[in-house]
Structure 1
């Protein structure tokens, strides 16, 4: 169970990542108004493989279940990984599975009353992040426990809580950093910075600006920003969408791929890339994991 201090509010999102085992019959995600048995449930999300491949949505109040709602298309597959996001709007929970809209469940109980998100049933849960509202990460386990190599379950960065990781020994040629995440609705901007030690300098600054629909790349060296690079074949960063970014350090440049496709090259402006030892990510983004 993941606590929600202060309750849910519009603009917040819950990001769940896991795998559906081959033997799965059903699992559930409950947005509960307390941790005690019999507490009200604002949203009961219940995929059922054992009764016609459907998802049941409901709420539980005053000791009894209310009217069920159904979706008869099953976006989950046995034996497969999934990512889903519950975005809280003033009217409803907007639910996305694997980047595609799944369902909209209108509020029956004010989301502010939700105190706990509980995931249970036939499910291998890898991470659960709470995004927005000044709440930092409430991780479930570590991604490193689920066969993802040397990876970290990343916190959901907030304006005052950037995700920071250190590369032991600095970057090397052919080193690849993978950043997977989700751009929430209403996002304005976030940044991925490759930095040198304790200096403020940034060797590579990747800055998707959702309000300008551009991805700016630059370097901050000796306290001075250089010339921005903005040209792109496509922009993979869209509100409500997942992204899978692969950043490879070469001898002459960084090569960056998004969702498996080349996105841009960035020639080294700071040539001693072995001194780049810190990754910092902040802004309007939900991270699922970072691997290096």
Structure 2
């Protein structure tokens, strides 16, 4: 019997957050429970031979627009004569004064294990078991709830750990919502609005559907994922189906995050931090939408409109 066969659909109370294996880059995920002193984030992977740079961002939110604040920006750069690491903070769309650490402690073509340990006043970073740098917080640690990884990096695993695994009361999963789930949209959708849906795919999933309805229960557009044939598509009320050509990022017993960004006359989709395209919908129809409905083989932990 495999390890997966022992897993229940709902995580056990003693687990902080299951690790993520081989995520598609760029990757973004919710940090359940946020960050606090004594929590660690583990990143294991390989630096490609021709890597130029990559970055790990601990963000205050996950929206696409406006860009969220970044409490800690960890950015190794390999393309310069002297490779180095830049650390910084983004606040209100503006970067603050950067801190440059000479030497990278990461090698092109080599594997690595990076640990981010969050203390009361600073984050400490170790590489392959050796302390590498520390960075003092410029934004409250309590605001951080999202991890984003991008650039030239192959990630094997991301883990969320307590420095003391025996700490009691470490349950961090929020209370879930029953599926199907419905949320009212009193003002419809307007440019700049973001819909965020986070959850956990069940062990033997069949489908996932996110639909937007108007006041007459008409369904102008639906986002539908089929786990059977591993397809993701926009389905219009006129019966038109437009497949989204992108890697299928829904996996059994893995967390997911769907973001819909409303722009003038269209909806922009991102899944697990990766942009997957847009669908056209005239602005008048967007403003008339009054309900968000979600159904399928998932547990929901966050629905934000």
TM-score by length of 2: 0.48
Q: Which has the higher contact order (CA 8 A, sep 6+)?
A: 2
